[in-house]
Structure 1
Amino acid sequence: MENKQLLEIAEQAKENAYVPYSNFHVGAALITKSGKVYTGCNIECASYGGTNCAERTAIFKAVSEGDKDIEAIAIASDNSSKNEITAPCGICRQVIAEFALDIKIILGYSKGDIKEFKIKDLLPHSFTGNDLI
């Protein structure tokens, strides 16, 4: 699947965001090596610690279905239509890195500029399960 297509799916997913406090919609779409796509949106909670980001929502959905081989994840936000990127937060970067350091991160707007990174570039010197051995 092309980056633009995955980003379009993320843009659709952001429409489901539950954001009564920030009013900042974020959507994510990830594709696994098997070709299956999982989506997520950010879900806020009055107790902010209970809030979950779009990226983690998509990852948790994939993992809960037994699909852990993530190839790429696209992220779209309200900033996307202004052709500005929204990168994953630190917690999301750590969760993405849990599954592989070569996962592609696709940021941008399907009708504008699209940037691609590897999670290892967004989270250098990451803490992984290898550090626990």
Structure 2
Amino acid sequence: MEELLERARTALEQAHVPYSEYRVGAALRTADGTVFTGCNIENANYSNSLHAEEVAVGEAVKRGHREFDRLAVSSGERDGVTPCGMCRQTLTEFCDDDLVVVCDEGDAAPEYRLGDLLPNAISAETLGK
């Protein structure tokens, strides 16, 4: 797990955060062990900003990956940041409730399950698909 956290920490260094100055990095591991990283990319209007987890998911999906088993998230503050609600919903599109989400607290790295972070998420089943 330490390797995945390190990849998230490295990714946050590339963040574009001129407004909040709050860097976030994410490292998403696919079922076959490939790791995709992302960082937050802010925009002056905020609503067009990209979150680190979304960038990582986008990179993976763009390359044909649809199965994931682990995500590590880190901020420059090492404050245990978890994915926001929007990112949780994006993850739910591609991940089961048992996706492990590791959050960087510096000396500790608590783990959560996606289903615990976003119970009763909107899914294809919710939409009758």
Q: Same fold (TM over 0.5)?
A: yes
TM-fit CA distance, 1:46: 1.0
1:32 pairs with 2:30: yes
**How far did residue 108 of structure 1 move?**
1.4
Match for 1:48: what amino acid? Y
Could you say what the CA RMSD is over the residues aligned between the two structures, in angstroms? 0.9
Relative to the length of structure 1, the TM-score reads: 0.92
Structure 2: which 5+ residue stretches go unaligned? none
Which residue in 1 is equivalent to 2:98?
102
SS in 1 for 2:19: coil
**How many pairs were matched up?**
127
Pick from 120, 123, 128: which aligns with 1:128? 123
- Residue 113 of structure 2 corresponds to residue 115 of structure 1: no
Give the corresponding residue for 1:44.
42
Q: Deviations over 1:30-69 (max 9, x none)?
A: 1001110000000001121110000000001000110111
TM-score (norm 2): 0.95
**Displacement, 1:126?**
1.0
Take 1:94 and 1:79, find their aligned partners in 2: how far apart are those partners? 24
Give the match for residue 76 of structure 2. 78
CA contact (8 A) 1:4 1:114 kept: no
Where does structure 1 differ by over 4 angstroms across 4 or more consecutive aligned residues?
none
Supply the distance in 2 between the matched residues of 1:4 and 1:112 (Cα, whole angstroms).
Answer: 11
In the TM superposition, what is the alpha-carbon distance from 1:97 to its structure 2 partner?
1.1
Question: In 1, distance between residues paired with 2:77 and 2:88?
Answer: 19
Letter aligned with residue 103 of structure 1? L
Q: Which structure carries more helix by proportion?
A: 1
Q: 1: CA distance between counterparts of 2:90 and 2:8? A: 18
C-alpha distance in 2, partners of 1:88/1:108? 12
Report if the CA contact (8 A) 1:73-1:103 is conserved: yes
In structure 2, C-alpha distance between the alignment counterparts of 1:56 and 1:13, rounded to whole Å: 13
